[in-house]
Amino acid sequence: MDELRARIKAVNLKHERPYIFVNTASSMDGKIALGDGKRLKISTIEDFKRVHRLRNEMDAILVGINTVIKDDPHLYVKTGFCPGPIRNPVRIVVDSNGKIPSESRILSGTTKTIIAVVKGNEENLERLKARETGNIIIKGVEANEEGKVDLHSLFLDLFSENINSILVEGGSTIISSLLRKGYIDTYSIFFRNFIVGGKQAPSIVGGQSAVAPVDLIHLRDPEIVIMEGGMLLSYHSLRQ
Ligand SMILES: NC(=O)c1ccc[n+]([C@@H]2O[C@H](COP(=O)([O-])OP(=O)(O)OC[C@H]3O[C@@H](n4cnc5c(N)ncnc54)[C@H](OP(=O)(O)O)[C@@H]3O)[C@@H](O)[C@H]2O)c1
């Protein structure tokens, strides 16, 4: 973790923005859920421990709204999986139109949760207003060219609030946006030794396919660690 802390610090100082770490669990054929998009438990215990320790190092954990709707994650740090004091990073949901279900588990508990909506759409979350004084914060952000939350503006805004590192845990549409824009510093995938198969199951990276070689996103300097039930593949310093 010392190496990661040094990387985060270097990016914060040099670029004055948060460090973006994307972490995904995938089948060997690149699928991150079942055929109907339902949650699939992919990580092994060893990988869960790694992820919870990683979460505990970061200032925030971010997911897209579809992941909240499909998986209903808590995104907290599990005590038993993590040595030392638990920090419980801020949870962030990227939700342009403010459609997050009020009963979502990410809105529960005492950890701060930020819902990032496109400016002007804050009123769609009027139903959460009463809870806003507590741990739920609704943040209006500039829209990007597709009318969705502009991730660059969001990251700069979060950095001004002392969020220096963000762990992105999916799903595939958010990862695609980040890769296409070149916003990722570290990209880690735990590949589990099983196959889901088929076309319907979502892949690690969603969005549009490359239609010409010039559209390919090239990765370099892979680091591979063999783990219980699979392997961890990481690319660091993606963004120079
Ligand atoms: N195995 C794993 O590690 C893992 C982890 C997480 C999720 N998953 C799986 O991933 C699937 C969900 O992924 P998904 O691709 O459907 O959805 P997602 O990436 O979770 O959320 C995508 C949504 O985020 C919103 N968004 C707002 N601003 C955006 C921006 N700048 N760029 C991209 N999206 C933006 C958009 O909805 P609005 O336009 O409404 O804002 C968009 O449709 C589920 O099946 C889940 O099980 C797997």
Q: Which residues of 178-197 are buried (b: 16+ CB within 10 A; e: fewer)?
A: bbeeebbbbbbbbbbeeebe
| Strand-pair partners of 235 | 187, 222
User: pLDDT confidence of 148, banded at 50, 70, 90?
Assistant: very high
State if residue 230 touches ligand 1 by the CB under 6 angstroms criterion: no
pLDDT average, residue stretch 62-73: 96
Q: How far is the CA of 133 from the centre of ligand 1 (A)?
A: 27
pLDDT average, residue stretch 82-103: 93
Q: Helices marked H in the chain — which ranges?
A: 2-15, 45-57, 65-71, 129-132, 151-160, 172-181
Determine phi and psi for 70, rounding to 5 degrees. -80, -45
State if residue 170 touches ligand 1 by the CB under 6 angstroms criterion: yes
State if residue 67 touches ligand 1 by the CB under 6 angstroms criterion: yes
C-alpha–C-alpha distance, residues 80 and 48, integer Å: 11
* pLDDT of 152 above 90: yes
C-alpha–C-alpha distance, residues 55 and 197, integer Å: 29
State if residue 115 touches ligand 1 by the CB under 6 angstroms criterion: no
User: pLDDT confidence of 240, banded at 50, 70, 90?
Assistant: low
pLDDT tens profile 20-29: 999 999 999 9
State if residue 144 touches ligand 1 by the CB under 6 angstroms criterion: yes
* pLDDT of 45 above 80: yes
State if residue 32 touches ligand 1 by the CB under 6 angstroms criterion: yes
User: pLDDT confidence of 84, banded at 50, 70, 90?
Assistant: confident
* Three-state secondary structure call for residue 31: strand
Provide DSSP, 79-137.
Answer: GGG--S----PEEEEE-TT----TT-GGG-SSS-EEEEEETT-GGGGGGGHHHHTTTEE
Q: How far is the CA of 91 from the centre of ligand 1 (A)?
A: 15
* pLDDT of 37 above 90: no
C-alpha–C-alpha distance, residues 121 and 130, integer Å: 17
Q: Calculate ∠ Cα 119-18-67, nearest 5°.
A: 60
Tell me if 90 sits within 8 A of 112, measured CB to CB.
yes
Q: How far is the CA of 2 from the centre of ligand 1 (A)?
A: 30
C-alpha–C-alpha distance, residues 68 and 73, integer Å: 6
What pLDDT, on a 0 to 100 scale, did the predictor assign at position 185?
Answer: 95
What pLDDT, on a 0 to 100 scale, did the predictor assign at position 127?
Answer: 86
**Top mutation candidate among 66, 71, 180 for ligand 1, by most atoms within 8 Å of CB:** 66
Q: How far is the CA of 76 from the centre of ligand 1 (A)?
A: 19
What pLDDT, on a 0 to 100 scale, did the predictor assign at position 132?
Answer: 58
* pLDDT of 33 above 80: yes
Q: Which atom of ligand 1 is nearest to the CA of 144?
A: 31
Q: Report the share of the chain in percent with pLDDT over 90.
A: 84
What pLDDT, on a 0 to 100 scale, did the predictor assign at position 1?
Answer: 84
pLDDT tens profile 107-133: 988 899 999 999 999 999 988 877 656
What pLDDT, on a 0 to 100 scale, did the predictor assign at position 50?
Answer: 96
Task: For residue 169, give the nearest of 93, 221, 97 by alpha carbon.
Answer: 93
**Top mutation candidate among 65, 69, 205 for ligand 1, by most atoms within 8 Å of CB:** 65
What pLDDT, on a 0 to 100 scale, did the predictor assign at position 133?
Answer: 60
Q: How far is the CA of 171 from the centre of ligand 1 (A)?
A: 4
Per the prediction, the chain carries an average pLDDT of 94
CA distances from 153 to 18, 80, 119, 123 (A): 11, 36, 11, 20
Q: How long is the chain?
A: 240
pLDDT tens profile 179-226: 999 999 999 999 999 999 999 999 999 999 999 999 999 998 899 999
Class of domain 2-235: alpha beta
Domain regions of the chain by residue span: 2-235
Q: Could you identify the residue written with the tokens 């859920």?
A: 33
* pLDDT of 137 above 90: yes
Tell me if 177 sits within 8 A of 126, measured CB to CB.
no
